[in-house]
Amino acid sequence: MNEQLSRLNRERRFLALLGLICLALIGGALYMQIVLGEAPCPLCILQRYALLLIALFAFIGAAMPNRRGLTLFEGLVVLSAIGGIVAAGRHVYILANPAVSCGIDTLQPIVDDLPLAKVWPLAFQVEGFCSTPYPPLLGLSLAQWALLAFVLTAILVPVGIYRNRKRA
């Protein structure tokens, strides 16, 4: 029983760390928006929502007292990461093919009508275009970094569950 509890606590610590990393990524995006003047596009905002959902589900999952609740929220983390993969993947594609549009005319009103855009417009309202090339960070665009983060999340969470649960 102690071994099983130790493994669940490892998953909880991982989820708490994942939640903090997602919040830090949102903070970095806000820094780049506010300080560096890099306006977020509709896909950037959708990626922020995915990061926020991952953080929220990770923190709730870390607080779950039993394995079933923990597993449920780990599943929601993975689903949110998959949503982030879709948004970031599309963004990477658009940056590689600048003639392609992100559909700001059709996507912007939808994203701007989401609840957080009204509550916290600075962080969740569209201001830019997906095809705007901003300087890379350590050789990768922000969309590529986001895609990497979402893919790692979608892979590492299930791997962690499998590793911890197969031994139990």
In our burial notation (b when 16+ CB lie closer than 10 A, e otherwise), range 102-123 reads bebeebbeebbeeeebeeeeeb
Q: CATH code at 65? A: 1.20.1550.10
pLDDT, tens digit (0-9, with 9 covering 90-100), for 8-62: 788 899 999 999 999 999 999 999 898 988 888 889 999 999 999 999 999 999 9
pLDDT, tens digit (0-9, with 9 covering 90-100), for 70-111: 999 999 999 999 999 999 999 999 888 877 766 566 677 778
pTM of the model: 0.89
| Domain count along the chain | 1
Cβ neighbours around 126 below 10 Å, total: 24
β partners of residue 140: 137
Domain of 124?
2-166
